[in-house]
């Protein structure tokens, strides 16, 4: 399914540029943060992100695939409630939804005028992927078993995660997580994929620490709970 493919990229990837010498890789070599400063930077970022208890943000996904001459754009939103509730949803040009509530996952696609609930046969993989996303939203980027971590500073501070695990390396060469100027939130994620495809997810219109009902993360057989746009 299209949304399942997105989710695998979103964390396996939530970041990236092309496999062949992306511009950001060149920037990394020039403006790389040294190891001693990197550790202090990561501690500061995690402390800043820890203040985020809830987050609502709109998103635009931009995907470049070598076999297509034009980029593919999708729009949607992300809702997060610490520590383990997350909802990713596309609204244009198609509708699909993925809801994680602790260890429970619900997937939906809107087809022929109605929401259809999908099977979650790959629950363990999805939980691992969504666990990565929630960790990033909490500013926890260190996972030495999964990634080599580095950072560079150009116009924005960017965290670069290079997968170590074979199951990630088959699909992803690196993730780039662009931070805002206050180092307390993500502005974009870039996913560098192994087959020269690029996925960039830009976040905008953030609302931080507003009240979010738990019902937002309780999908039903008739579809995900409705969400008012902000």
Secondary structure string (H, E, C) spanning 60-111: EEEEECCCCCCCEEEEEEEEEECCCEEEEEEEECCCEEEEEECCEEEEEEEE
For the cut 80, the answer to whether the pLDDT of residue 24 exceeds it is: no
Asked whether residue 29 is domain-assigned, the answer is yes
Asked whether residue 117 is domain-assigned, the answer is yes
Asked whether residue 182 is domain-assigned, the answer is yes
Asked whether residue 230 is domain-assigned, the answer is no
Q: How many domains does the chain have?
A: 1
For the cut 60, the answer to whether the pLDDT of residue 99 exceeds it is: yes
Asked whether residue 187 is domain-assigned, the answer is yes
CB 16 within 8 A of CB 198: yes
Range of the domain at 76: 2-217
Note the pLDDT of residue 134: 87
CB 182 within 8 A of CB 189: no
How many helices (H) does the chain have, and how many strands (E)?
5, 11
Least confident of 128-132, 171-175, 209-213: 128-132
Asked whether residue 136 is domain-assigned, the answer is yes
Note the pLDDT of residue 54: 96
Q: How far apart are CA 7 and CA 96, in angstroms?
A: 11
What 8-state DSSP symbol labels residue 223? B
Alpha carbon 82 to its chain centroid, in Å, reads 15
Note the pLDDT of residue 219: 81
pTM for the complete prediction?
0.80
CA dist 41 → 2, 11, 111, 133, 202 (Å): 36, 22, 45, 20, 23
Each residue of 26-64: pLDDT tens digit?
344 558 999 889 999 999 999 999 999 999 999 999 988
Of 105, 73, 102, the C-alpha closest to 88 is 105
Stretch 163-190: mean pLDDT: 89
Report the CATH number that the domain containing residue 120 is assigned in CATH: 2.50.20.10
Stretch 102-129: mean pLDDT: 84
Q: How far apart are CA 110 and CA 223, in angstroms?
A: 9
Place of tokens 């040294």: 34
Asked whether residue 135 is domain-assigned, the answer is yes
Note the pLDDT of residue 6: 38
Q: What are phi and psi of 211, to 5 degrees?
A: -75, 130
User: What are the tokens at 40?
Assistant: 């202090």
**pLDDT-derived band of residue 18, with 50, 70 and 90 as boundaries?**
very low
Stretch 114-136: mean pLDDT: 80
Note the pLDDT of residue 151: 95
Asked whether residue 39 is domain-assigned, the answer is yes
**pLDDT-derived band of residue 121, with 50, 70 and 90 as boundaries?**
low
Of 226, 216, 219, the C-alpha closest to 120 is 219
């Amino acid at each position: 399914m299209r949304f399942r493919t997105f989710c695998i990229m979103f964390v396996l990837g939530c970041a990236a540029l092309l496999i062949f010498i992306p511009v950001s890789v060149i920037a990394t070599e020039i403006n790389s943060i040294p190891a001693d400063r990197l550790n202090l930077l990561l501690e500061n970022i995690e402390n800043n992100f820890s203040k985020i208890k809830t987050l609502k943000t709109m998103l635009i996904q931009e995907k470049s695939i070598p076999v297509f001459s034009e980029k593919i754009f999708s729009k949607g939103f992300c809702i997060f409630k610490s520590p383990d509730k997350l909802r990713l949803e596309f609204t244009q040009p198609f509708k699909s939804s993925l809801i994680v509530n602790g260890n429970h996952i619900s997937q939906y696609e809107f087809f022929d005028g109605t929401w259809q609930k999908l099977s979650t046969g790959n629950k363990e993989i999805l939980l691992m992927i969504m666990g990565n996303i929630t960790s990033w939203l909490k500013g926890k980027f260190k996972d030495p078993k999964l990634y080599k971590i580095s950072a560079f500073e150009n116009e924005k501070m960017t965290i670069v995660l290079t997968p170590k695990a074979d199951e990630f390396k088959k699909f992803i060469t690196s993730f780039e997580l662009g931070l805002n100027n206050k180092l307390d939130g993500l502005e974009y994620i870039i996913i560098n994929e192994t087959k020269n495809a690029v996925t960039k997810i830009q976040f905008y219109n953030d609302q931080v620490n507003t009240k979010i009902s738990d019902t937002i993360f309780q999908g039903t057989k008739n579809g995900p709970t409705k969400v008012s746009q902000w």
